[in-house]
Amino acid sequence: MGRKPRIHGLKNHRPIITYKAVASTLILLCIYLIYNQRQTNHRVASLPDIQIFDFRSNSSLPAHLDEIDPSVELVSRGFRYLDNAHRLGRIHMGSWIYIVDSTLATASSVSNPRILLLKRGPQLVTCPGMWSMVGEHTNRDEQPIETVRRAILEELGPQVLEHVITHGRIRNMTALPIYYERDYGAANEGRIDRQATYIWLVEMNLSAMMESRDNNYQTIAQIIDDDGFFQFDSEVAETKWLPINELEQWVKEDADEKKYFCHETIISLMNLGFERLKVMSL
C-alpha cells in the first residue's frame, strides 16, 4: 500500500522563512532608505543656503570694519542663494581666516610665522588671478566655528582639519563680526558683498608632525610641499606661505597698485588682522 499523504493541520503548521527571503527584504529596505536619503539630501541641497539680514530700524549703519552685534542690530530676512544675495546686495555672514604654519606662542622664539595665501583661479568671476586669505560664507544653520572647520576641510583637505583639531588651535580674533561692503561694479554684473564677518586665527602647529614617529618630516617646508597632506580646492591656482613681515610689505606695495590683492577691502581686512595678531602675540 502507498503511504498516505501527511496532512498538516493548523496546530502543526510553521511558516517557512528562508535566508533568501530575508536578504531580499533587507536589500529592498536598504534601497528604499538610500533613495529616501538621496531625495532628502536633494531637497536640502536645493534650498537657498545663505541667510540674509537687514539692519533693524533703530540701528545706525556701521562704518567700515566696525564690530556689530547680529543679535541686536540685525533682523533675518530668510535665505537666498549666494549669487542672488550678492546680486541683491543683501547682508550675510562669513569668516575671514588667517592660517599660520606654527603657533604664536612658539613663533616669536623660533621664526617669523608664515601665513597661507591662496591665488584664485582664472576661471572665477570675482577677483580671478589675485591673492587672498582663506574665506568662507556661513551656510544655513551653521555656527561660526563650524564655518571655519568646513572652510579648512573644503579648501585644505581632511588631513589638515584632523591635524588642526588634534595639534593646532582655532581662535577668534574678533569678539563680534566686523562689517564691510564691497561693490564689484558693472564688470561683475553689479554684485555687492555686504558681509558681517568674523576674523579667525588657525594655528596649525606643523612642527608637531615632525615630532611624530609616524612621519619622516625633517622641516616644515617638507610638510607644506607634501601634496598628500594639503589637498587644496580646485578653485585655487597657486599657494604661498609668507612670513608676516613679508606679507605686510606686499600689502603696503598694493596700497597704490593692485598687483597682489583685488581691492581695498581685502587690504583693510589684512591690516586689521595684522593689528590683532600683534596684540595676540604679546
CA 141 to chain centre: 14
User: Which 3-state string (H, E, C) describes 35-95?
Assistant: HHHHHHHHHHHCCCCEEEEEECCCCCCCCCCCECCHHHHEEEEEEECHHHHHHHCCEEEEE
CATH class of segment(s) 49-281: alpha beta
C-alpha distances in Å from residue 126, one per residue of 49, 95, 142, 195, 260: 20, 17, 24, 15, 14
114-120 and 236-243 strand pairing: antiparallel
Check whether 273 has a pLDDT greater than 80.
yes
* Dihedral sign for Cα atoms in the order 270, 103, 278, 201: positive
pTM (2 d.p.): 0.78
pLDDT score recorded for residue 138: 95
Q: pLDDT digits over 59-73, tens only?
A: 889 999 999 999 999
The mean per-residue pLDDT over the stretch 126-139 comes to 92
Question: Nine-digit cell at 271?
Answer: 591690516
**Measured distance CA(189)–CA(58) in Å, rounded:** 32
Bridge partner list, 131:
119
Task: Write the pLDDT tens digit of every residue in 218-268.
Answer: 777 778 777 778 899 889 999 999 998 999 999 999 877 788 999 899 999
Sequence letter at residue 145: I
Does the pLDDT of residue 37 top 80, yes or no? Answer: no
CA atoms within 13 A on the CB side of 101: 24
